[in-house]
Amino acid sequence: MKNALPLIFFWGVFIYVILQVPYPETFTQANFSQLSFFFIPLFLALCLTFNLLIKNISIASSISLGIIFFLILKALDSLNAVTTILMIISVGLLVSYFRKLKKKKLTNYSKIPKLTNLRRRK
């Protein structure tokens, strides 16, 4: 339940930005503040939503970043079959990397001897 509070907050901020911030005629006419007010709450809201479902912040961030890039490419009319395939491959590689990273252990040994068991020999 404590994960839901930031999630609701960022979705609320995103909806507030959509309803209250004046938007430009085209994406290329938007200034930095308009873009940041739109994309930062959207990224955080998507990231926290996917983290609630997946339980891995790295994978959730990768998927959210992929969605943001899709939106940017669509707004610039650069979204075609090639860019779509490349974006899906790049997000898939990031997700597979972070999934493998979670399974790796710190050492190859399952049991590390304790330092208290080691005695100095005189």
Q: Is residue 122 part of a domain?
A: no
How sure is the predictor about 109, in pLDDT bands with cuts at 50, 70 and 90?
low
- What confidence tens digit (pLDDT) does each residue in 68-84 have? 999 999 989 898 999 99
Q: Is residue 12 part of a domain?
A: yes
Whether the pLDDT of residue 65 is over 80: the answer is yes
Q: Is residue 32 part of a domain?
A: yes
Q: Is residue 61 part of a domain?
A: yes
- Token pair for 26: 């085209």
CA-CA distances (angstroms) from residue 36 to 43, 67, 74, 93, 110? 10, 15, 17, 26, 46
Phi-psi region of 79 (alpha: psi -120 to 50; beta: other; left: phi over 0): beta
What is the pLDDT of the chain when averaged over all its residues? 84
How sure is the predictor about 98, in pLDDT bands with cuts at 50, 70 and 90?
confident
Number of domains in the chain: 1
Structural domain harbouring 15: 4-117
Q: Cα dihedral angle (89, 65, 81, 32), rounded to 10 degrees? A: -150
